[in-house]
Copies of this chain bind each other. A is one copy, B any other.
Amino acid sequence: MTTFSVLILGSSSASPTLKRNPTSQLLNVNEQYYLVDCGEGTQTRLRENKIKFQRINHIFISHLHGDHYLGLIGLLQTMHLLGRTTPINIYAPEPLKEIIDLHLKYSGGFLRYPLHFNAISSKSSEIILENEQVKVSTVILDHRIPCTGFVFKEQPKLRKIKPQAIAYYRIPKYAINQLKKGEDFTHPDTGEIIKNELVTSKPAKSYSYAFCSDTKYSESIIPQIKDVDLLYHEATFMENESKRAVETYHSTAKQAATIALKANVNSLIIGHFSNRYLNLDGLLEEAKSIFENTQLAFENKWFEIAQSQ
């Protein structure tokens, strides 16, 4: 079973409201958790969703506006209090390290687990994490201060073995792994070469997710997010506030949908809604008029990108 899904922990812009928190999301890739932005209230939302904090090993912060990271210091502190000893990896703009250190200094605190801080560039896209599950690269967004999005791509999966063909061609067990990786097999006795395609079928799909937090409409991000299965793109305003959107380096719902269309993504989530919208139907309609497969971010909602064999 493959899991590749996103949990919305905060969908509001700027300030929390009674129903909405500032930006935070949790990406679940086959039960490995990746936290993306960490606005105030993230801990409570994680608890509501019964997410064990200690299962989070990687935290990505898009930029240093408070609504995207002010929940981080408390979360790090709680992880310490819960007895964490395994390292946490943070990927964020460089000054966040100084901010974390200052808080720890004056709280007389220390963390009993290692904190690996990875400063990310706001100048050019780069790969910031690659492990067995995913490859994560940055997207350079156009915001008032340095701001990056993140693209999570599942690593290519192993080819599937055809059991009947394996038996037919008398493939020994020790060769199974190399076949899964796509290699051919040579019988050591006869020298006969068994082509990989005869005994395997193509691997399960590798899914991808792009997170574009705060940004003006910017077509320069399209090459980096092209063809992803799911795109989250901020949509702070509706189109009748497009002037305000430009002034504040934010996007409208129509602009988010236009990016989704031009980047040929499969589906779109919009979020980071201005507090002026008590009802979000207008934002959704506006986006759907351009890109039908759009959904609204909402607190504690899981978006399943994949859940299949």
Contact = CB atoms under 8 A, between A and B. Distances in A.
A66 B73 contact: yes
9 contacts: A15-B81, A16-B47, A40-B70, A65-B109, A66-B107, A67-B74, A95-B102, A95-B105, A99-B99
A79 B102 CA distance: 24
Interface residues of A, number: 38
B107 A74 contact: no
Interface in A31-56: 40-41, 43-44, 47-48
A64 interface: yes
A14 interface: yes
Interface of A: 14-18, 21-22, 40-41, 43-44, 47-48, 64-67, 70-71, 73-74, 77-78, 81, 93, 95-96, 98-99, 102-103, 105-109, 144-145
B73 A70 contact: yes
Contacts of A145: 106-108
Given A64-B107, A66-B109, A108-B145, 7 more contacts: A18-B48, A40-B40, A64-B106, A66-B103, A95-B102, A95-B105, A99-B106
Nearest to A18: B47
A212 B180 CA distance: 64
A43 B71 CA distance: 13
A144 B108 CA distance: 8
Contacts of A64: 106-107
Contacts of A21: 44
Given A40-B40, A40-B71, A70-B73, A65 B15 contact: no
A81 B93 CA distance: 24
Nearest to A14: B81
A14 B107 contact: no
Contacts of A70: 40, 70, 73-74
Nearest to A50: B18
A95 B18 CA distance: 31
A24 to B, nearest CB: 13
Contacts of A66: 73-74, 77, 103, 107, 109
A121 to B, nearest CB: 16
Most chain B beta carbons < 10 A, residue from A18, A73, A74, A102: A74
B73 A44 contact: no
Contacts of A16: 43-44, 47, 74
Contacts of A106: 64, 93, 95-96, 99, 145
A162 to B, nearest CB: 49
A109 B78 CA distance: 28
A67 B43 CA distance: 12
Nearest to A144: B108
A106 B47 CA distance: 29
A181 to B, nearest CB: 44
The 3 residue pairs across chains A and B that have the minimum distance between CB atoms: A15-B78, A108-B145, A95-B106
